[in-house]
Amino acid sequence: MNVPQGNLLRKRVVTDLATPLSQALDASVTGYARLEPGDTLLLDAEGVGVITFEDGVPVVAYHSGADSGGADALADIAVAGPSRVALYELDGDALAQLHDADELRVPPGLPAERLAGDPALAERTREAAPASRAAEREREQDGLAAVEQFLDDGDRIADIRERARDQAATRAEEWGFDLPGT
Amino acid sequence: MPAFIPESEANVGMVEVFAVASGKGGTGKTTSTMALGMALADEYDVTVIDADTGMANMLFHAGLADADTSLHDVLAGDAPVEAAVYNRFGMAVVPCGTSLSGFQQAEPDRLRTVVATLAADTDVILLDSPAALGSRSAVLPIVLADSVVVVLQPTIPSLSDGLKVQEYATTYGTDVAGILFNRVTEDEAIDRVATKTEQYFEGETLATVPESDAVRAARRAGEPLLAHAPESTPAAAYREAATRLTVHDRPVDPVADRFRSAVIPDHS
Ligand SMILES: Nc1ncnc2c1ncn2[C@@H]1O[C@H](COP(=O)(O)OP(=O)(O)O)[C@@H](O)[C@H]1O
Ligand SMILES: [Mg+2]
């Protein structure tokens, strides 16, 4: 996925992804957020996530590490955890082509639901979405239904666990821990 | 415990160290640490330690905001462990200060000595742990513990973070004592979510604790939930959770050894 370079609005380390999502919503940002894992050592393995916005409402999501789009990309971003987030402003026309890619689109409230676990922010985002996105809004699962769907994806969860184990082992070495049984 | 072992000796050998952990802040680790501690204190000698030394808040949950000496002083080498132990609510409470300078002067590795020292005198230690896995000091409580209680909110990021906590713990030789859902608002669906979640965790669901005004009121009053609102629904849920925690008998020498030499090489 190629995103044209935008105007940097802000860049910060966040522990809760509700922060950039609500900032984009409150400022009605048209542009995109670039999300990197907080730990640059893991950057190669984890990749970078991108979420685009139209008037503050998320439109598409992509993750470079997994080469995933849409809801899958959100899960990959969620798994990468707390991040360095840069929010860019970009002309709506520059995003138009990207926004036509159906496989990358996400329902308006889904990022808040999946990345922030914040149903109130998700609801606020759905309310801000234009009428043209009513159909997507309808399809969206909220609250625990989204959590159940996540839990039904055994492969993804196995992947999260495996990556965490690798990370834990790599860091043990870095931190000078002797692992049991080694 | 066999009857022929004298009472005093029997007690010396028994300590179980739990880390109360989650990948994310605000899930209710401190609330849970205090509640589980009070529930276990009916049966055991319990010590709770605020090992979340960068974001400490146990002092506010335990009415110890004015405490003179805290874990920070102990970790800085400025006070003996005993000076930071306060007997409150039927437990020994070791609060931690909130100042940045206190955090900066603390030597995180000293936590091991603190735990080993207190272990000699108590049955159960609960370590209120940091909501992070990104640094050596943040994972230390999980490394030192026998097992971890993973506090979860029923959201995707919280579950994903909780899974990471589990994998770090098991990689470092620490068991999973169980999972605890906190701040639950949807009653019907949570049972399905809990059942599905259990498939992926190596411990059972200890309880599902509702989002409740009683919890917030207790925090405002500077009291643990079980002292402030013992009859409330969340308090009952925590008592239930405590009954599901297994407190093992561990002989005293291996215990001391565990903390001396286990995973962390001695730097001193
Ligand atoms: N079940 C609950 N219902 C309502 N509020 C809760 C609940 N559990 C925790 N809280 C509140 O959430 C805040 C964070 O809880 P705390 O235990 O300090 O979390 P942590 O230690 O994980 O950061 C506190 O204000 C606490 O009163
Ligand atoms: Mg806390």
How many whole angstroms from B234 Cα to the centroid of ligand 1? 12
pLDDT of residue B263: 45
Which residue range(s) make up the domain with B238?
13-245
Q: Which residues surround ligand 2, an ion (CB under 5 A)?
A: B 29-30, 57
CB contact under 8 A, A78 and B157: yes
In a domain, B21, yes or no: yes
Chain A residue whose CA is closest to B162: A161
Nearest-atom number in ligand 1 for the CA of B60 is: 18
How many whole angstroms from B118 Cα to the centroid of ligand 2? 21
Q: Does A81 touch chain B (CB under 8 A)?
A: yes
pLDDT band of B261, cuts 50, 70, 90? very low
Name the packing angle between helices A154-175 and A71-80 (round to 10°).
20
pLDDT of residue A86: 93
Judge whether residue B169 has pLDDT over 90: yes
Ligand closest in space to the Cα of B98: 2
CB contact under 8 A, A144 and B186: yes
pLDDT of residue B6: 41
Per-residue pLDDT, averaged over B190-205, amounts to 94
How many whole angstroms from B234 Cα to the centroid of ligand 2? 18
Interatomic CA distance for residues B63 and B235, integer angstroms: 18
Judge whether residue B13 has pLDDT over 70: no
pLDDT of residue A181: 57
pLDDT of residue B157: 83
pLDDT of residue A142: 66
Distance from CA of A91 to the nearest CA of B (A): 31
How many whole angstroms from B216 Cα to the centroid of ligand 1? 7
Average pLDDT score, chain A? 85
How many whole angstroms from B127 Cα to the centroid of ligand 1? 16
In a domain, B108, yes or no: yes
pLDDT of residue A13: 86
Neighbouring C-alpha atoms within 13 Å toward the C-beta of A81: 26
Task: Please report which residue ranges of B106-206 form alpha helices under DSSP H.
Answer: 110-119, 136-144, 156-171, 187-198
Of the two residues B255 and B169, the one the predictor is more confident about is B169
Number of domains in chain B: 1
pLDDT of residue B81: 96
B86-88/A68-69 β-pairing: unpaired
In a domain, B135, yes or no: yes
DSSP letter assigned to residue B265: P
pLDDT of residue A41: 46
How many whole angstroms from B44 Cα to the centroid of ligand 1? 25
Chain B residue whose CA is closest to A163: B164
Nearest-atom number in ligand 1 for the CA of B131 is: 22
CB contact under 8 A, B167 and A180: no
Of the two residues B213 and B252, the one the predictor is more confident about is B213
pLDDT of residue B265: 43
pLDDT of residue B73: 96
Amino acid letter for position B232: S
Per-residue pLDDT, averaged over B220-235, amounts to 97
Cα-based angle B80, B88, B132 (whole degrees, multiple of 5): 70
Instruction: Report percent pLDDT > 90 for chain A.
Output: 41
pLDDT of residue B206: 97
pLDDT band of B1, cuts 50, 70, 90? very low
pLDDT, tens digit (0-9, with 9 covering 90-100), for B125-155: 999 999 888 888 899 999 999 999 999 998 8
At CB < 8 Å, which residues of chain B contact A? 23-25, 131, 133-134, 136, 139, 143, 153-161, 163-164, 166-168, 170-173, 186, 189-190, 192-193, 196-197, 199-200, 262-265
Chain B residue whose CA is closest to A180: B173
Per-residue pLDDT, averaged over B250-261, amounts to 51
Report the candidate in A155, A67, A175 with the shortest Cα–Cα distance to residue B200.
Answer: A155
Judge whether residue B266 has pLDDT over 80: no
pLDDT of residue B10: 42
pLDDT of residue A182: 47
Average pLDDT score, chain B? 88
In a domain, B252, yes or no: no
Ligand closest in space to the Cα of B151: 1
pLDDT band of A82, cuts 50, 70, 90? low
CB contact under 8 A, A144 and B189: yes
Beta-carbon count within 10 A of B18 CB = 27
Chain B residue whose CA is closest to A83: B134
Distance from CA of A114 to the nearest CA of B (A): 6
Q: Give the range among A54-63, A154-163, B39-48, B196-205 with minimum mean pLDDT.
A: A154-163
Interatomic CA distance for residues B47 and B114, integer angstroms: 11
Task: Please report which residue ranges of chain A form alpha helices under DSSP H.
Answer: 18-26, 43-46, 71-80, 92-99, 110-111, 119-128, 134-139, 143-152, 154-175
Nearest-atom number in ligand 1 for the CA of B31 is: 17
pLDDT of residue B4: 45
CB contact under 8 A, A180 and B172: yes
Of the two residues A131 and B227, the one the predictor is more confident about is B227
Per-residue pLDDT, averaged over A163-176, amounts to 88
Return the CATH number at B101. Answer: 3.40.50.300
Consecutive H or E run containing A30: none
CB contact under 8 A, A168 and B172: yes
CB contact under 8 A, B154 and A152: no
Q: What is the ipTM of this complex?
A: 0.86
In a domain, B119, yes or no: yes
Chain B residues close to A150, C-beta within 8 Å? 156, 159
pLDDT, tens digit (0-9, with 9 covering 90-100), for B29-49: 999 999 999 999 999 999 999
Residue A58 neighbours by CB under 8 Å, 6+ apart? A21, A24, A51, A52, A106, A108, A110, A111, A125
In a domain, B6, yes or no: no
pLDDT of residue B235: 98
Judge whether residue A99 has pLDDT over 60: yes
In a domain, B254, yes or no: no
In a domain, B150, yes or no: yes
pLDDT, tens digit (0-9, with 9 covering 90-100), for B62-91: 999 999 999 999 999 999 999 999 999 999
